[in-house]
Structure 1
Amino acid sequence: MSELRTFDDRKTLQRAAGELIASTLRAAIVERSEAHMALSGGSTPGPVYEALSTKESVDWEKVVVTLADERLTPSEDRTNSNQALVESTLLQNAGRHARFRAPEAGRDLPIQDLILLGMGGDGHFASIFPQLPNLEEVLSGDAPDVMHVAPDPLPDNAPYERLTMSLPAILRGRSILLLITGEDKREVFEEAKRSTPREHPISALLAAEPAQLVTYWAP
């Protein structure tokens, strides 16, 4: 069964998330001489990445970073690009020595030692939205690791088509960390345990009951 940990505030959650990610990377490097992680965008992970970038206890030259999802933005739009977020936060300081690999549709991914996910108010995770025309394909067991998706309609706050890791690629991750903040999203998270992927896509992740999933929540 997956684990749910609650924190008193977001700063405490972010600090705990950074510590978990750093320890996971160090352990992977000891075991396999290399660590792979897939990251998500959003306001909550940004401070986590900034703090991570200063951790010299991680051998960053042996860390490969990709994205759990990306918005297909024009090159001049850095505000809505998850890659731009990672570059301006994690890939600084000691973290600048990590290798970044942009996701590509149809490209196989190595098993990720850590996948960091968030959840939207509609229950989406990565870029797996309830209004995806190909939702069932993205969730199916034989889905490619990285897929092109086009929510219909496009989200108002970031009206772009996307690349996303599919559900089976996420479930292959050795560790999955889901960050959720706010009472409203906690309600969605609890409701998703009883709903369907068309209502709340994250229900598909929760229904799989991955033992490697840890959810951190703070008000």
Structure 2
Amino acid sequence: MPWIEHDHADVAALVSHVTEAFVDACRTAIHARGQAWLALAGGRTPLPVYAQLAAANLGGVVSAIPTDERCVPHDHPACNLRALREAFAADANIVPNALTREDGDVDASLAQSRALLAVNPQPFDAVLLGMGADGHFASLFPGAENLAEGLATASGIDAIATLPDPLPPEAPFARISLTLPRLLHARDIHLVVTGADKRVVLRQAQADPDCAFPVTTLLHAPGRHVHIHWSP
């Protein structure tokens, strides 16, 4: 199967297991290549993972970027970079990098994100993704006009600017998202899913490679194995 499933009794167990995987990935990368390179999801569920990473004494430099970012100023409550900086505050060697400009301008942010990825073409040592109830991941929403561009595995594009349709009422902003091929360019990929409703969506995407949920393309990407972490 193109995925490896990890079922956890609760969110705390999920966080512990994912943290352990990321600690191992970071330490292995630091030992082998001098530093680690991560792409990290926003949202509430992963934040305890990041806080535990910051407390783990990883022993070297870790550079991280959001898998996706809202085009808002960096001090805005909806900014994923802000959340990463706060979560990693205990370890100055973990350095979050911005996908967007300080003021959140969409066009300038897209240019910045592509430039950042162009000078960092190496595989991510680990990627952490979440999944929405509509099957989206990394702000690759099913209703977005340019969803196909974000999912095209042969596009050669590392990042896109995208606008969810409909806009999520809790975060009605344009986004910069890493594309599926850039996310797949990784040594390890972890997908975190919580709740029974989302598991139904996940099972549909697993069962049908032609399913319309965006996450389907991630799960059925040829030659890749995704670690799926689920808890109630």
* TM-score (norm. length: structure 2): 0.87
Structure 2 Cα separation of the partners of residues 128 and 116 of structure 1: 15
Q: What's 1:3 paired with?
A: 4
Q: What's 2:102 paired with?
A: none
Deviation of 1:142 (Å): 1.4
Map residues 65-214 of structure 1 onto 2, 5 A cutoff: 65-77=64-76, 79-89=77-87, 91-93=88-90, 95-103=91-99, 104-107=112-115, 108=118, 109-110=120-121, 111-140=123-152, 141-193=154-206, 194=208, 196=210, 199-214=212-227
Q: What's 1:24 paired with?
A: 25
Specify the SS of the correspondent of 1:24.
helix
Q: What's 2:63 paired with?
A: 64
Specify the SS of the correspondent of 1:29.
helix
Deviation of 1:31 (Å): 1.5
After the TM superposition, which parts of structure 1 deviate over 3 Å for at least 4 consecutive aligned residues? 209-212
- The Cα offsets for residues 89-113 of structure 1, whole Å up to 9 and x where unpaired, read as 1x221x2222222123433243211
118-127 or 101-110, larger mean C-alpha shift: 101-110
Over the aligned positions, Cα root-mean-square deviation in angstroms equals: 1.6
Which ranges of structure 2 fall in alignment gaps of 5 or more residues?
Answer: 100-111
Distance change in 2, residues 1:25/1:209 (3 Å): same
Give yes or no for contact 2:36–2:62 (8 Å, CA) kept in 1. Answer: yes
Which ranges of structure 1 fall in alignment gaps of 5 or more residues?
Answer: none
Give yes or no for contact 2:141–2:165 (8 Å, CA) kept in 1. Answer: no
Q: Which amino acid aligns with 2:89?
A: Q
- The Cα offsets for residues 122-167 of structure 1, whole Å up to 9 and x where unpaired, read as 0000010001101111111114111111112221110000011101
Specify the SS of the correspondent of 1:4.
strand
Deviation of 1:35 (Å): 0.8
Distance change in 2, residues 1:12/1:130 (3 Å): same
Q: Which amino acid aligns with 2:59?
A: D
Structure 2 Cα separation of the partners of residues 143 and 120 of structure 1: 26
Structure 2 Cα separation of the partners of residues 210 and 128 of structure 1: 21
Give yes or no for contact 1:105–1:148 (8 Å, CA) kept in 2. Answer: no
Distance change in 2, residues 1:29/1:76 (3 Å): closer
Structure 2 Cα separation of the partners of residues 210 and 178 of structure 1: 17
Structure 1 Cα separation of the partners of residues 223 and 17 of structure 2: 21
Give yes or no for contact 1:122–1:188 (8 Å, CA) kept in 2. Answer: yes
Specify the SS of the correspondent of 2:193.
strand
Q: Which amino acid aligns with 2:151?
A: L
Structure 2 Cα separation of the partners of residues 189 and 136 of structure 1: 20
Give yes or no for contact 1:68–1:165 (8 Å, CA) kept in 2. Answer: yes
Structure 2 Cα separation of the partners of residues 128 and 143 of structure 1: 17
Structure 2 Cα separation of the partners of residues 25 and 42 of structure 1: 21
Structure 1 Cα separation of the partners of residues 200 and 223 of structure 2: 21
